[in-house]
Amino acid sequence: MIAYFTELFSPTILLYLLRGFAITLRVAAIAIVLSILIGTVLGLVRSYAPWPLRKLAGAYIEWFRNTPNLLWVMVCFIAAPLPSDWARCTMAYVLFTSAMMAEIVRGGLNSIPRGQFEAAQSQGFTLPGTLWYIILPQCFRHIIPTMLSQIITVVKDTSFMAQVAVAELLFRTKNLMSIFYNVVGRQITAMDVFLLFGFAMLLYFAVNFTLSCVVRFLQKRDAVTSAQARN
């Protein structure tokens, strides 16, 4: 059994799969960071900007929220003016996910009492200062669980890149089936397929479970801090 696992998960195969996993993480990380930034701006614009800007932000959000993410992966892969396959796919995830993040942020902003603005204004805060120092920190504390769910979705949806032959984790796992004989020197079996896809599943799970643990820790720390402040 040890010899079997050593053969199946040889350094060559592990390196091949982990290089794909690196692309998965790179695309997910860039898409998440940019989507949070753009989504926050869109959420603020849709909540507080003048009417024409609110309508433009709303049109962007509704357009991308109501169309499939996979569709945008294919469109951007073909048409986006970027130099690499993974960068074009990243653009698709940013376009789609920033719209989802915008609605999450807008929901958090709507949960903040309007009296917060009046209190800040009475203390001499400008609108940008009120948003930055008072409103957004409270907003993000409220939306952390929902935002985490969307972040996990981004990590899982990177598997859509396999549909356009970008060599991320899932594509490499599937491609390994076709080159298995050349790599290992024997025909692939059902157990090989199960274990290789299981390994890919464990990598996805490890990332998403770690994100869940980090957010739960932050929520508990925030609850303790809030309780101490009340006391």
Choose between 224 and 158: higher pLDDT. Answer: 158
Over residues 107-111, the mean pLDDT reads: 89
| Residue 128, pLDDT score | 84
Over residues 45-49, the mean pLDDT reads: 91
Q: Are 88 and 82 in contact (CB under 8 A)?
A: yes
Choose between 125 and 106: higher pLDDT. Answer: 106
Percent of the chain at pLDDT > 90 equals 58
| Residue 231, pLDDT score | 63
d(CA 116, CA 106): 16
Joined tokens for residue 143:
């939306």
The per-residue pLDDT for range 163-215, each reduced to its tens digit, is 998 989 999 999 998 888 888 888 888 999 999 999 999 999 999 999 888 88
| Residue 228, pLDDT score | 66
Structural domain spans, the chain: 2-230
| Residue 230, pLDDT score | 66
| Residue 225, pLDDT score | 67
CATH number of 2-230: 1.10.3720.10
Phi, psi of 124, rounded to the nearest 5 degrees: 90, 10
| Residue 217, pLDDT score | 82
d(CA 37, CA 102): 9
| Residue 226, pLDDT score | 66
Predicted confidence band at 20 (pLDDT cuts at 50, 70, 90)? very high
The per-residue pLDDT for range 126-170, each reduced to its tens digit, is 888 888 888 898 888 888 888 988 999 999 999 999 999 898 999
